[in-house]
Homo-oligomer: A and B are copies of this chain.
Amino acid sequence: MLDYQATLDYIAEAVEPGFGKGKVADYIPALAEVPARKFGMAIQLASGERFSTGDAHEPFSIQSISKLFVLELAMSHFGDMVWTRVGKEPSGDRFNSMIKLEMEHGVPRNPFINPGALATLDLLMSLKGDAKHRIRNFLRYLAMNDKVDVDDVVMRSELGHASLNRAMAHLMKGYGNIHMDVEDLLETYCFQCAMAMSCEDLALAGLPLATGGYTEMHDSAVLSAAQAKRINAVMLTCGMYDSVGSFAYRVGLPAKSGVGGGILAVVPGTMSVAVWAPELDQFGNSYVGTMALEMFTKLTRTGIF
């Protein structure tokens, strides 16, 4: 049987040459200050066992990985109605997605590009109650960790640099695809992006996607089995910005990345894997994190293809 701990420790050393090849996100000041040489990785098995290495216990800004969890919340409340507000096709754009958003009359291509995440969150906010509490509570429940919380400094920093997201939200509002107040929406969006979680938190939070929506650790099913499969499909085709094809080719797992340097990947039926390394490649995905996942699926033969 495979020694997962040895595998993770091996990878933590083997990725060393990858440092310095990417660039820490600098589009908001608070993110630019994160040390570049961090590396953490954790796996969470369906059996409950967890393995980790490096800085896997250290919380970082999950950024766009939050889109995955907000999609789960939206699907659990609204089911396939979500897809009346957002598509599920890759955008195929190096250019900022506003171009396609306009051509397609305010319906974003998928829930993992910014306008799609805004539309998904807008739908979630139509529920009674404070969406921020709902999101934080859901992440705490998934990670089984009540210390999961927002990083206020990051959140304020994002709100102060949100012009492009604000533009997209108003464009969609013009097309009737945003119903909430745009400023409330943006504040909640910055809140979800600024949530801080560790690799260990994320790996546990991602497990239900690997196990048909239900785990032995959580009290109740998070999603139906069909929903879990479908979210994995959307992750594989849309989860890695304009690099989904290369990522599928190299790693072969459904995954969602964030500009904080985190990637959460799912091995259907078996486990979830979280990795963190802040330097990003040209597409906005963690350079070292992608390396680590590529090694992992090669060594463990867990790629889905």
Q: Which residues of A pack against B, CB within 8 Å?
A: 87-96, 98-100, 102-104, 109-110, 163-164, 166-171, 173-174, 228-230, 232-234, 236-238, 242-246, 248-249, 252, 254, 268, 303-305
Contacts and interface: CB of A to CB of B under 8 A. Distances in A.
A91 B100 CA distance: 12
Nearest to A166: B170
A295 to B, nearest CB: 14
Given A99-B99, A304-B304, A305-B232, A245 B163 contact: no
A173 B160 CA distance: 12
A109 B92 CA distance: 9
Given A305-B232, A305-B254, A245 B87 contact: yes
A171 B229 CA distance: 36
Contacts of A88: 245-246, 249
A100 B92 CA distance: 9
Nearest to A99: B99
Given A236-B237, A237-B237, A305-B236, A229 B252 contact: yes
Given A88-B245, A236-B237, A268-B304, 4 more contacts: A164-B170, A167-B167, A233-B252, A254-B305
A273 to B, nearest CB: 15
A237 B248 contact: yes
Which of A87, A243, A244, A246 is packed against the most chain B CB atoms within 10 Å?
A: A244
B305 A243 contact: no
A230 B248 CA distance: 8
B102 A95 contact: yes
A104 B99 CA distance: 12
